[in-house]
Amino acid sequence: MTFYLPEGAKKIIETLESSGFEAYIVGGCVRDLIRGVKPQDYDICTSAAPDAVTALFPHTAATGLKHGTVTVIENGAPFEVTTFRTDGEYKDSRHPENVRFVGNVKDDLARRDFTVNAMCYNEKRGLIDCFGGANDIKAKILRTVGDAEARFREDALRILRLFRFASSLDFSIEEKTFAAAIKNANLLKNVSRERVREELTRLACGKSPEAVLPLLSTGALPQLTANGKIAKIADLPPNSELKFFALLNLTGENATDAAKNLKCPNAFKDYCERMEAGLTAKCETPADIKRLLRLLEGDIFDLFAYKREIGGEDTANAAATAESIIASGEPYKISQLEISGSDIAKKGCRGREIGETLEKILEKVIADPSLNRKEILEKLI
């Protein structure tokens, strides 16, 4: 089995090997190459200690020395280079207390989560696959390396990663691995909400987001519930915000509250709030569409896609109307009015009156765009 490697990865491996060390690409990049998918990045494992790696390459960054990782910049691209290691005891179901550097790549592969991620490769030695990962890829199945319960008790994040990979790869989960994940789902309380959010976002963007339903049925993620309504998320446009909103909205009572609970960025919380408001707003007339445009701007097309795919609603006409309004320049927000707050102030309005007057004028212009002329609007004040 032969794979193409980018020049940067080849150069790093060749440099390490010429200095007497072993080095391989490892993990997800090998999995993707076997699947015929171009990897997004290439990680490298090596028998060289971090200080040896740093000494061999002119451009490095100490991004994870505690765990043996040095980032090497080669051919303008970053590569994480990590020393072969085994992990110490996990006391918090998340992080090992310590790591021990080892000289055997098989020991390093044995600490990894799933067989499909526990393979390495270089051009001289070919594929090293100690746990049947290549066969599991062929069978489209996910199983842990070694004892499933032990793997999940060590690091509860692996439970979320399992269901995320089931979604993104469209793989099934091996029976014992599935049972151990469900049994230990309560350990997800030890995973930070930021990491939960990250995994759920990537899961929502996968091919089979419904794979997460059995995990949700355990109640381990209290902001979400299993209601069996998420299969069509995969059919939504490839927009991570929209798909994550759909996951939260379809599996929780309130997407905005779930986003807050997961410590999502303010921009995404605002997006959820506007989308939820849009779901209950009318979109029957051009004036309705203008009000939606004011609320959602370009995200209005996310709303229409969501309504179409999840609710079966025909939103083609509404989308066409929105496109026509945008193209024509018909006003739907205050900044498009041919009058400003200072114009209203000159008429004697103050403070809150200015904003209230602008709102009333905008409503009239939304209903009748021909009114958007300064001399007409000044009379309306």
Own/partner pairs, 125-130, CB within 8 angstroms, 24+ separation: 125/24, 126/1, 126/2, 127/1, 127/30, 128/24, 130/106
Check: CB of residue 233 under 8 Å from CB of residue 204: yes
Q: 13 and 133 share a domain? A: yes
> Which tens digits make up the pLDDT trace of 44-68?
999 999 999 999 999 999 888 888 9
Q: 203 and 237 share a domain? A: yes
Question: Domain for residue 371, yes or no?
Answer: yes
Question: Domain for residue 104, yes or no?
Answer: yes
Question: Domain for residue 100, yes or no?
Answer: yes
Local structure of residue 157 (DSSP, 8 states) = H
Q: 262 and 155 share a domain? A: yes
Partners of 45 in the beta sheet? 24, 82
- With vertex at residue 209, the alpha carbon angle to CA 307 and CA 117, rounded to the nearest 5 degrees, is 155
Question: Domain for residue 274, yes or no?
Answer: no
Residues 6 or more apart whose Cβ sits within 8 Å of residue 151: 113, 144, 145, 158, 180
**Beta-carbon neighbour count of residue 92 at 10 Å?**
12
3-class DSSP state for residue 24? Answer: strand
Report field, pTM of the whole predicted structure over 0.85: yes
Check: CB of residue 131 under 8 Å from CB of residue 106: no
Structure tokens at 100: 């021990």
Distances (CA, A) of 41 to 44, 110, 169, 312: 10, 22, 17, 38
Check: CB of residue 62 under 8 Å from CB of residue 96: no
The per-residue pLDDT string of the chain (381 residues; one tens digit each, 9 = 90 and over) reads 789 899 999 999 999 999 999 999 999 999 999 999 999 999 999 999 999 999 999 999 988 888 899 999 999 999 999 999 987 666 655 666 667 889 899 999 999 999 999 999 999 999 999 999 999 999 999 999 999 999 999 999 999 999 999 999 999 999 999 999 999 999 999 999 999 999 999 999 999 999 999 999 999 998 888 877 788 899 999 999 999 999 999 988 799 999 999 999 999 999 999 999 999 999 999 999 999 999 999 999 999 999 999 888 899 999 999 999 999 999 999 999 999 989 888 888 888 999 999 999 999 999 999 999 999 998 888
| Residue 367: per-residue pLDDT | 93
End-to-end CA distance of the chain: 77
- CATH number for the domain harbouring residue 88: 3.30.460.10
> Which tens digits make up the pLDDT trace of 268-322?
999 999 999 999 999 999 999 999 999 999 999 999 999 999 888 899 999 999 9
Q: 36 and 74 share a domain? A: yes
Q: 32 and 1 share a domain? A: yes
Distances (CA, A) of 280 to 100, 230, 249, 317, 380: 56, 20, 13, 18, 31
Q: At what angle do helices 286-296 and 266-280 cross, to 10 degrees?
A: 170
Q: What's the chain's average pLDDT?
A: 93
On the 0-12 / 13-18 / 19+ scale of CB atoms within 10 A, 350 is exposed
Question: Domain for residue 273, yes or no?
Answer: no
Q: 133 and 14 share a domain? A: yes
- With vertex at residue 160, the alpha carbon angle to CA 218 and CA 234, rounded to the nearest 5 degrees, is 95
| Domain span holding position 20 | 1-139
Q: Which of 2, 46, 4, 42 is nearest to 23 (CA)?
A: 46
Q: 124 and 32 share a domain? A: yes
Q: Give the span between the Cα atoms of 342 and 363, in whole angstroms.
A: 19
Q: 18 and 94 share a domain? A: yes
- Residue 227: phi and psi, rounded to 5, are -125, 5
